[in-house]
Amino acid sequence: MIYTKITKIALRICFDAHKEQLDKTGLPYVFHPFHLAEQMTSEGACVCALLHDVMEDTPITREELEEMGIPREYTDILTLLCHKEGVPYMDYIQALSHNKAAREVKIADLRHNSDLSRLDNIDEHMLERQEKYRIALEYLLSIGE
């Protein structure tokens, strides 16, 4: 984890936003963004890893994040990381691939979400999702720096 004034703000926002949520196995959801943030190599990527699901999965808006102290350059990245309804998945992946921090966060997200050992039950839907993530991960890794 990279500890700066802004990452500490992001840690608090992340925890507060996700503290009541559980993942598919019943574990606290907040462990997922914390796991991603531990792998990041810059403040921006760390902040975005912590907050990558906040705008998508909670009522918190981009404007509110900025009011809480998250810089616009980071909320720009978070906007890229939001998969908007109706946008084909690979179009979303290609759009975010041009930003280094967004790519770094999404690669870690895809790896963690593809780890079937996290799941208690694996069904056909999970296997299909894993294949979709594999294709996206392969694409993002092919981009490089």
pLDDT of residue 145: 57
Q: Buried b / exposed e across 30-57, counting CB within 10 Å, b at 16+?
A: bebbbbbbebbeebbbbbbbbbbbbbee
Mean pLDDT of the residues in the chain: 93
pLDDT tens figures, 8-34 = 999 999 999 999 999 878 889 999 999
Read off the pLDDT of residues 87-118 as tens digits, 9 standing for 90 and up.
999 999 999 999 999 999 999 999 998 887 77
Domains of the chain, CATH where assigned: 5-143 (1.10.3210.10)
pTM: 0.93
CA-to-CA distance for 37 and 1, rounded, in angstroms?
6
Helix (H) / strand (E) containing 4: none
Q: In which band, very low, low, confident or very high, does the pLDDT at 126 lie, cut at 50, 70 and 90?
A: confident
Kindly give the interhelix angle for 43-51 and 100-113, rounded to the nearest 10 degrees: 50
Average pLDDT over residues 78-83: 97
